[in-house]
Amino acid sequence: MKLKDLDCQGVYDHLSECIRSDSFPQCIDDIRGYTENTDIMRKQGTLCIIYIFCGLKCDADFNNQRFDDLNALVGCDSDSDTPAERYGAFNDIKLVCDQPYLNQADLIECVRGISYDGPVMTDFVEEHTRPDSMLLDIDYLNEVLSIEIEGGSSDDIHISKIREMIDLGIRQFVLTGAPGTGKTFTIEKFSEEYNTGLNRADYFVQFHPSYDYTDFVEGIRPIQVGDDMKFVRMDGIFKSFCRKVAEMTGDDLKVFVIDEINRADLSKVFGEMMYCLEESKRGEEHRIATQYQNLKCYDRDGNPIEDDVFSDGFYIPENVIVIGSMNDIDRSVESFDFALRRRFRWIEVGSMDDMEEYKAFLLGFLKDEDLTDRLISLNEVITGETGEKCGLDKNYIIGPAYIDKDTDLEVTWKNRIEPLLKEYCRGQRKDEVDALLSACRAELLGDE
C-alpha cells in the first residue's frame, strides 16, 4: 500500500527548505517540543504529512487549548469524542511519528486514523499558518489523504533500508538482485533527494571494462594552451565530486552513484580509495597521498585549482554516501573481491524470501494486482523444481521492468521474457527447457 508521492515532492520540498533555513511556521516549530526525532523530517519524506498534522494539532491544542478546532483534525465525524479522547488519538499519532523507521503499514494506519472534513481543514490551516511562510499546498494535501491507494512504492522499501543503515553510520551500499528489479531507478530516486545543487553528471557513473583509476580518481590529461598542448593532473569523477562536497558549507548528505559497479576491475579503479571507504577513515584527519599528489591539479577548463582543499592529501568527506548497483548473475564481469566487498553493505532488491514484501514491491512497480500475481506465479516456476532442473534459482527471477502494462502480454512474452529465459538456460536439456518455458508462459498468460 502506498501514499501517493509523499517523499521528495511538494510539501516535503517546502518542509526541507524550512529545516535548512530554520524558518518554521510556528505550528510546525511547536512539534519540536514533542519529539526527539526531528531529524526524521529530513530523512523520511513519508512522515512529513503526519508531522504537518501534528504541528497544526500542537498549535490548536497545546498552545490555544482550542479543542473545537482540534475536531477538524481527529475524529471530526465522531461528535461524542471528548477532548481527552482526541488528545489520546493525537498522542497515538505522535508515537507513530516518533518511530525512527516507520513502516508503510504503520503509516497507512496512522493516516487512516485522521478523519477530517476538507473545507474545515482548509479553514483551519489558513487560520493557523502564517501567510509569510505558507507551507501547505492544500489541494495536494487533501488529494493525498482522501485517495484510496492499493499499490505500494516499489522503491520505498529499499530506500527505507538505506536510510536505516545511514542512521547507523554506514556510508557505502550495493543494491543487488536480478536484472529488471529497479535497482538503478531506486538509486537515482534516492540520490536526487539528497543531491540538490548538483548535476547528474557530477555524481552518476556507469562502470565498464575499460574504466580505470584515471577516470575515477585522478590522472594526467592533455589540455590546450594557445597553440601548444601540455599534460596536467586532473580529477576523475569521484574525486571531483568529493571536492565539490568538501567545498560546500554544512554537512548535508550527498550521494555518489556507481551503476553496474562490478563491470570494471574494481581494485584497479579504486586504488587507494579502498582505505578511504572505511567509515572510520573518513574526514580530513585521514588524508592520503594519491598517485599524482606532487603535481598541481587543474580543473576541466584547464585552469590551475587555487586553494585546493586536497593540497595536503585526499580524503572522502564524512557526509558522502556511495551507492552501487549490480546483477549477481552476470557471468562475464569482474568479481567483487572480499577486501572491497566488506566495505559495502548489501541490499537485495526484489527478493522472494519475504513474499509479503515482494508482492508489495511488485505491486508498487506494476500498479496492477492481477499482473503482479501473474509475475509472482511465473517466478515461482523459475525458483521451483522446474526451474532448478534448468539450473535456475532466485537470482534468475523476472524483474518487473520487463513488463510493460501498455504492451500486450503475448508480445512481452515473445520479445522479452522467452528470449531471456532461453539465454539463462543455454546448455540445458531441451525437454527441460521446453517444460520451463511452457510453465512460465502459462502462468503469465493464463494459458491452460
Over residues 215-262, the pLDDT tens digits come to 999 999 998 877 888 899 999 999 999 999 999 988 889 999 999 998
Multiple choice CATH, 156-348, 3.20.20.80, 3.40.50.300, 3.40.50.1110, 3.40.50.720: 3.40.50.300
Residues 109, 100: Cα–Cα separation, whole Å? 17
Of 447, 383, 380, whose CA–CA distance to 409 is shortest? 447
Cβ neighbors of 328 (< 8 A, separation 6 or more) are 176, 177, 395
pLDDT in tens, 269-314: 999 998 999 888 999 999 999 999 999 999 988 889 998 999 999 9
Nearest to 145 by CA among 153, 136, 134: 136
> Is 60 exceeded by the pLDDT of residue 436?
yes
Say if CB 349 and CB 158 are below 8 A apart: yes
Mean pLDDT value of segment 334-360: 83
What is the value of pTM for the model shown?
Answer: 0.64
Query: Is 193 within 8 Å of 45 (Cβ atoms)?
Result: yes
Cα 7 from Cα 46, distance rounded (Å): 5
Name 345's bridge partners.
173
pLDDT at 335: 66
Q: pLDDT (tens digit, 9 = 90+) per residue, 354-398?
A: 888 888 888 878 888 889 999 999 999 999 999 999 999 988 999
